[in-house]
Structure 1
Amino acid sequence: MGRLGYDRAVAELPEISAPPGRFRIRETVRWSDVDLAGIIFYGSYVRFFEVAETELFRAAGLPFSRLFEEFDLWLPRAALHFEFRRPARLDDLLDIEMWVSRVGTSSLRLQFEVYKVAPERELTAEGYAVLVTVRRGDLKPIPVPAEVVSALGAYRGEAGEGPL
């Protein structure tokens, strides 16, 4: 155990696969993520969410560079919602799971759940973001391209996984 009582050996835990229809990344709570109490600062979840989102699109074959250049679109956020369940602390290992819960005409809703990995798996936060597909030139909403919807199909969650 470290001075603060956290076992750093959790970083050596094996990866476990994400549930069907979800994407998962594993992150460690860093010094820059916590407040003076050693508890994760709420804004740090935005970084975890952004990393998971970027990697989900990359895993679907849609790195942002391709989305921007090939489809001539951007994905600004129209909404971002978090609910905090349990504190995460310095050096905790977290699994961030993400999936597409809704595809609208010109928007995508990405759900996420954040789990502390050890000593036992527990939900620390959950939420969603609504991304709007807009044309880069004038920022006007455009339909989500069919190829984007198709590529994200592997990450549509399980039946019944919808809004909070």
Structure 2
Amino acid sequence: MFTRTTQVEIQFGDCDPAGIVYYPNYFRFFDNATAALLSAAFAMHKRNWLEHFGIAGIPMVDTGARFIKPSRFGDVVDIRSEITELGRSSFSVRHTLLRDGEVAIEAHEKRVWVVRNEAGDIRSAPLPEDVRRLLSAS
């Protein structure tokens, strides 16, 4: 399925007093990596694909990570993101964060394709066939 690698330079503000990345910031990195993955698959920026597909967003319904090695201010890490599963209205992403070519974090997330109803509430919607095709590409 579709894969993309995003490079991130760890900033001072990403770190805690111990000098390592404060763990919630990894989830921010992964959220950005998912947006970059979909933007690459759809060949357009997130603000454009939200409008193009008429969706409210792709909220996360499940996430988790296994932390293997810490990263510090100034490190440059690669986040390899891959679509691993396509459901009716959901998709799963696996993130592998590499530091110096070694696995530092393995993470996963499940997201839902959502639209707004007449009242403005969000509800899941089936993944469009062209989205399925693009996310299934190697």
- Same fold per TM (> 0.5)? yes
Which residue, 32, 45, 57 being the options, matches 1:51?
32
1:66 and 2:26 correspond: no
Aligned pairs, number:
133
Which string of whole-angstrom CA distances, capped at 9 and with x for unpartnered residues, describes residues 104-153 of structure 1?
01101011000102xxx211111111110111233111111111111122
- For the aligned residue pairs, the C-alpha RMSD in angstroms reads 1.6
- The 3 A distance-change label for structure 1 pair 64 and 21 is closer
In the TM superposition, residue 62 of structure 1 has moved relative to its aligned partner by 4.7
If asked which structure has higher relative contact order (CA below 8 Å, sep 6+), I would say 2
Which of 66, 72, 79 is the equivalent residue of 1:83?
66
Residue segments in structure 2 that go unaligned for 5+ positions in a row: none
The reply on whether 1:142 has 2:125 as its aligned counterpart is yes
Q: Contact 2:2 / 2:134 at 8 angstroms: preserved in 1?
A: no
Q: Identical aligned pairs, as a percentage?
A: 28
- List alignment gaps of at least 5 residues for structure 1: 1-19, 156-164
SS in 1 for 2:29: helix
Q: TM-score scaled by structure 1?
A: 0.75
Superposition pairs of residues 95-114 of structure 1, within 5 angstroms: 95-114=78-97
Q: Which has the higher strand share?
A: 2
TM-score by length of 2: 0.88
